[in-house]
Amino acid sequence: MSYGWLFESPDDDISGDNHINLEHLPPELKQVAIQIVQNQFDRDTAEKKLAELIQKLGDAANLLI
């Protein structure tokens, strides 16, 4: 079974960087796709905030030395 119809172009179907065309998805799958993207944004934001906190803690520790 081919899932190529989900993608914007046939080339996207086999590449590592897939782009799903939401217009072709049923409403319940659109919501799932949007939730996956939102979760990734949340994870990326959390990683950046954690890296900033670690950097600040490192800077504070260097001041104490």
Domain assignment present for residue 62? The answer is yes
CA 29 to CA 43: how far, in whole Å? 21
Domain assignment present for residue 48? The answer is yes
Q: Which domain holds residue 33?
A: 22-65
Tens-place pLDDT, residues 45-57: 999 999 999 999 9
Residues 25 and 6 sit within 8 Å (Cβ to Cβ)? yes
Tokens 């934001």 found at = 45
Domain assignment present for residue 41? The answer is yes
Domain assignment present for residue 26? The answer is yes
Paired tokens of 55: 């950097």
Residues 22 and 33 sit within 8 Å (Cβ to Cβ)? yes
Domain count across the chain: 1
Tens-place pLDDT, residues 3-38: 665 655 655 445 556 667 778 788 888 888 888 888
Closest by CA to 36, choosing from 22, 50, 57, 53, is: 22
Residues 55 and 48 sit within 8 Å (Cβ to Cβ)? no
The reply to whether the predicted model has a pTM over 0.95 is no
Domain assignment present for residue 8? The answer is no
